[in-house]
Structure 1
Amino acid sequence: MGILGFGLYILLGITSLPSVTNALSWREFSFIQSKLGYLTVFFCTFHTYLYGWNRFLNASSYKWYTPPVYVLCLVLPSLLIVLKLLLLLPCVDRSLTRIRQGWERNDPEDSSANALLP
């Protein structure tokens, strides 16, 4: 998992170079930076979970009653993955897709105010 995550990080870094970015279309660049970016975060976070699996419940790894460093490093990426999964729920994803496609909410108050304008 760590090698796959590192390889994807390298791919993301290479596509961020201006010369490579200019050679890619907007769809290709957007796919690489968004979809593969989340996949990279997932692989690297999962790698860290696997790294600390044996030591997670071991009392000797909690010196001075503080969690090990790898546990602290998992807070932010785990939160990111959970929030991304919440955005992928059908009720939220449907609204976000409509907004991205140009949908605007029709507000009756706004339409009456616009009708009064010359």
Structure 2
Amino acid sequence: MDKIFRLRSNMEFKRVYSGGKNYWNRNLVLYVKKNNVGNTRVGYSITKKIGNSVVRNKIRRRMKEIYRLNFDSIRGNYDLIFIPKKNVVDISYKELESAMLHILKLAGVFISQSDSNG
């Protein structure tokens, strides 16, 4: 994923946290804020409460891959921050994928196949 599609600085994260809207489900929290950059950017915030670095990086890699595979179905001009909850450690890849797509639909930034056809 190119750098232009990622939230990178602490200030960018703080801007989304303070001015954005948050959505949640059993496994994730998602912060969403409209931006004027011209594309959707994403960030991942995984606390040490989740586990050691091996566990955190595994979760981050899974979330990045799910996002990458569904990138074309996400509306433009948003900043997104995904924050996994502690129980994400125990769920499968498919369950995490389902949770991420569900929360994106809740936030209204995911374009489902039925939206694009009609």
TM-score (norm 1): 0.27
> Which protein, 1 or 2, shows the higher relative CO under an 8 Å CA cutoff with sep ≥ 6?
2
Q: Which of the pair is proportionally richer in helix?
A: 1
Structure with bigger gyration radius: 1
Higher relative strand content: 2
